[in-house]
Chain A
Amino acid sequence: MRDFDYAAPTSVAEAVKLLQDHNGSARPMAGGTDLIDQVRVGRISPDLVVDIKKIAELNVLQIGSDGLHVGAAVPCYRLYHDAMIKDLYSALTDSASIIGGIQIQSRASIGGNLCNSGPAADSTPSLIALGAVAVIAGPQGNREVAVEDFCTGPGKNVLGRGEFLVELKFPARSANSGSAYQRFIPRNEMDIAVVGVGAAVQLDASGKNFVSARIALGAVAAKPLFAAEAGKLLAGQPVSVETIQKAAEAARAIATPIDDMRGTVEFRKHVTGVLVMRVVQQAVERALKTKSGNAP
Chain B
Amino acid sequence: MAKKRIVSANINGKQTEFLCEPRQTLLEVLRDTLDMTGTKEGCSNGNCGACTVRLDGRPVVSCLVLAVEADGADVETIEGVAPGGDLHPLQQAFLNNAALQCGICTPGFIMQSKCLLEENPNPSEHDIRFYLAGNLCRCTGYDKIVRAVQEAAGCCGKS
Contacts and interface: CB of A to CB of B under 8 A. Distances in A.
A and B in contact, CB less than 8 Å: yes
> Interface residues of A: mostly helix, strand, loop or mixed?
loop
Contacts of A189: 130, 133-134
B15 interface: no
Contacts of A8: 68
Contact of A1 (B23, B68, B112, B133): B23
Contact of B66 (A2, A6, A106): A6
Interface stretch (A31-39, A88-96, A219-227, A281-289): A31-39
Given A36-B66, A190-B133, A102 B112 contact: yes
Given A6-B2, A188-B133, A36 B22 contact: no
Contacts of B2: 3-6
The contact size tier of chain B is 20 to 34
A103 B59 contact: yes
Contact of A40 (B44, B47, B131): B44
Contacts of A80: none
Interface string A71-88: 000010100000000000
B123 interface: no
Contacts of A263: none
A104 B22 contact: no
The contact size tier of chain A is 20 to 34
A190 B47 contact: yes
Contact of A102 (B1, B44, B47, B134): B134
Interface string B49-64: 1001001001111011
A101 B66 contact: no
23 contacts: A3-B23, A4-B2, A5-B3, A6-B5, A32-B64, A36-B65, A37-B46, A39-B23, A41-B45, A49-B66, A53-B69, A75-B58, A100-B134, A101-B134, A102-B112, A102-B115, A102-B134, A103-B52, A103-B134, A107-B58, A107-B64, A107-B65, A190-B134
Interface of A: 1-6, 8, 32-33, 36-37, 39-41, 49, 51, 53, 75, 77, 100-104, 106-107, 188-190
